[in-house]
Chain A
Amino acid sequence: MFRQLLRNAKERLRLFLSERGRRARVLRDRLRRQPDRIDPSSRFVPGFRYGYGEREARGLELLKEWLSPEQFAQYDAKSYFEVTGCHSGKRYRINHGASMNIHELDGAGRPCVGWCFTPKGYLVAGDVMLAQKIALETDERGALAVANKFFVPTGRRNMLLHY
């Protein structure tokens, strides 16, 4: 009985891993076909990692200089800040990070859709977040036109991740 259960579990795990592997291959191939995406080779620029912490700190310093006092307080307390799109008036939450870090908020202030766009080339998180803020506040349509949309799970378990 126990062996049968173990066999079933192993088989399920094997199928799960094989399906995940297949999806990863599809995604990788799709990314390779899109030339206008972030250049992954830039992450391997010689010496890039040298002084990374210093650059990261400078990027955050610059971001904080450009945030409004409300955004600064929010970012300081919660590691994210919110901006208002200049065209739609929608609210967006920019989480600390350099990719897949923008959530569009619904009327109740809950994340409903994810948007991913970044400045081209490899920049530190502070610079990326600042460019995202300015883009949404000054050219929301242009920013979303190049952005990729992603699903934001809104289940209870995921709520814990976002709040």
Chain B
Amino acid sequence: MATQIVMDRTGDTRHNFDAKNADALLKAEERFRELTGAGFTAAVRTASGEAVVKRTLDPTADETLFFPRLVGG
């Protein structure tokens, strides 16, 4: 089971999906496009624990994290 974690003001919202299920994968891809289109950055962790930014959905990733556009504070 893969998870898309979206940071928001509730803390985070998690969307679980089965990456082997074509419909679920399609929905996950759509969510990925919507979020990145809205300015979110998507990142996954490699096996070594390093964070890597993704421009397209990585179906092999266990967790994909989305955080909103950065602004000067």
Contact = CB atoms under 8 A, between A and B. Distances in A.
A117 interface: yes
Contact of B12 (A48, A118, A122, A127): A127
A79 interface: no
Interface residues of B, number: 24
A146 B72 contact: yes
A88 B14 CA distance: 34
B11 A58 contact: yes
B71 interface: yes
Interface residues of A, number: 41
A134 B72 contact: no
A131 B70 contact: yes
Interface string B23-54: 00000000000000001010101000111110
Given A66-B45, A120-B39, A121-B9, A37 B68 contact: no
Contacts of B50: 68, 137
Contact of A123 (B52, B68, B72): B68
Given A59-B11, A138-B43, A130 B67 contact: yes
Given A66-B65, A119-B7, A138-B43, A146 B51 contact: no
A120 B70 contact: yes
Contact of B9 (A99, A117, A122, A131): A122
B11 A133 contact: no
